[in-house]
Amino acid sequence: MFPPAEKRFLWINKITIVSLFVLILAGGVVRSTGSGMGCPDWPKCFDRLVPPTDASQLPSGYEEKYIAGRKAKNERFATMLERFGNKELAARIRHDESILQHEEFNAAKTWTEYVNRLVGAITGMLILGCAIFSFTFFKTKRSIFVWSVINVVAVGYQAWLGSLVVSTNLMPWMITVHMLLALVIVGISIYTYFKARSLRDKDLLINHTSSGIKWLAAVSLLLIVIQVAVGTGVREEIDLISDAANGLNRSQWLGQLSEVFDMHRMLALVSAIMIVLLFFVVRSRFAPNTHQSRFTNLVLLLLVLQIGSAGVLGYFDIPPFAQTVHLVLASLLFGTQYYLMLLLGKVSWK
C-alpha cells in the first residue's frame, strides 16, 4: 500500500515517461518533415509566443536579426569548444557558411516545430514536478530524490543543446547528441519510477534471478543503445543525400549510403538474436503472469514491429512516416528493455 505522497510521485512519473515518448515522436515528425528550422530563433518562434500563420505576420528584418544572433551564439559555443581542446570542431563551426543560411518561411513547418517545443516545455515541467514530489523519498530512498534532481539538470542541458541545434542550423552530430541525451532522460525517469514502485510492491520482483540473466539483458540493452547511435549516423547521411538531391530520387538513396549502413544492419541482426535469446530464457524461468514475462513479450513485439518498419524503409524508398515510426519504436524498445532489465534484478525491502 502506497502512502498518498508516494502515489502522487508515481502518478506524475508515469505521465512524464509517456510525455517523453510523445516528445520523441514529435521530434521524429519534425525531422522527417524537415521542420527543424521552422522557428529560426529559440525559445520563442519568430520572436513570438504564438508563431505566425502567414508571411505577412513576420517581423521586419527578421532574417538579418536571427542570423546575427545565431552567429554570436555559435561564436560563444566555438570558444567553449576551444577551451575543452576541440579546436578543429570550433573552426568548423566558425567557417561553415551553411549554418548561417536562411530558410524561407513555411507555416506548416513552423507550427510543426512549435508543437514540438510545446510538448518539450510540458515535459520539462513534468520532470520538474517529479523532482518536487520526489522529496517524499528523501529519508526512505534518497537515490530517487537525487536522480530526479539530476534529471532536471539533464533537461536543462537538453534545452540548451536544443538551442544550439537551432543556432547551428541542424548540424548532424548535434542532432545525434540531442537524441542520445533524450534516451538518458527517459532512462532516469524509468529508473526513478521503478525504484519508487519496488520500494513497497512485493510482487514486482522475484528474488531468485541469477546474475547471468541480468547480464544478458544488460548486453542486449547496450546493443540497442549502440544501434540507436549508429542509426542516427545513417539518418545523418540520408539527410545529406536528401539535401543534395533536393528530396528527389528517393529510390537511389540507400545505394549511396556508406559502410555505416552495413554496420547498422549487422548490429540489428545481432541485437535481434540477443532479444530472442533473452525472451526464451526469461520465459523458461518465470511464470507467464509475472511482470518479467509480460515485459519480455512486449520487447519481442516491439522487435517484430521494428523489423517491419525497417522493411518499409528498405522496400518503399524511405518514406518519411516510416522514419518517424522507426525512431519511436527504437525508443520504446530501449525503454521497455531497460525496465525489463530492472525487473530481472534483486531488491531488498526495508
DSSP string, 293-318: HHHHHHHHHHHHHHHHHHHHHHHTT-
Tell me, yes or no, whether 147 and 244 share the same domain: no
Helix axes 142-167, 107-133, angle to 10 degrees: 160
Tell me, yes or no, whether 209 and 105 share the same domain: no
Provide the whole-model pTM: 0.87
Give the total number of structural domains in the chain: 2
Question: For residue 195, which of 339, 28, 41 has the smallest C-alpha distance?
Answer: 339
At 297, which CATH number?
A: 1.20.120
**Dist CA 231 CA 218 (whole Å):** 20
> Do the beta carbons of residue 112 and residue 30 sit within 8 Å?
yes
Residue 72: how many other CB atoms lie within 10 Å: 11
DSSP 220-252: HHHHHHHHHHHHHHHHHHHHHHHHHTTT--GGG
Residue 186's domain spans which residues? 1-201
Tell me, yes or no, whether 129 and 242 share the same domain: no
What is the residue-level pLDDT of the chain in tens, covering all 350 positions?
788 899 999 999 999 999 999 999 998 888 788 777 788 777 788 888 888 888 888 887 777 777 777 777 777 777 877 887 777 767 777 776 666 666 778 889 899 989 998 999 999 999 999 999 999 999 889 999 999 999 999 999 888 877 776 666 556 667 778 888 999 999 999 999 999 998 887 777 665 556 688 889 999 999 999 998 888 888 878 877 877 787 778 888 888 888 888 999 999 999 999 999 999 999 888 888 888 899 999 999 999 999 999 999 988 888 888 989 999 999 999 999 999 999 887 654 44
Cell for 192? 526513478
Tell me, yes or no, whether 214 and 167 share the same domain: no
Within 13 A of 295's CA, how many CA atoms are on the CB side? 21
Domain boundary among 174, 201, 228: 201
Tell me, yes or no, whether 129 and 220 share the same domain: no
> Do the beta carbons of residue 206 and residue 312 sit within 8 Å?
no
- Residues with Cβ within 8 Å of 69's Cβ and at least 6 positions away in sequence, in order, are 41, 167
Tell me, yes or no, whether 216 and 150 share the same domain: no
Tell me, yes or no, whether 160 and 62 share the same domain: yes
Domain boundary among 175, 201, 227: 201
Tell me, yes or no, whether 197 and 282 share the same domain: no
Instruction: State the first-to-last Cα distance of the chain, in angstroms, to the nearest integer.
Output: 14
Tell me, yes or no, whether 81 and 212 share the same domain: no
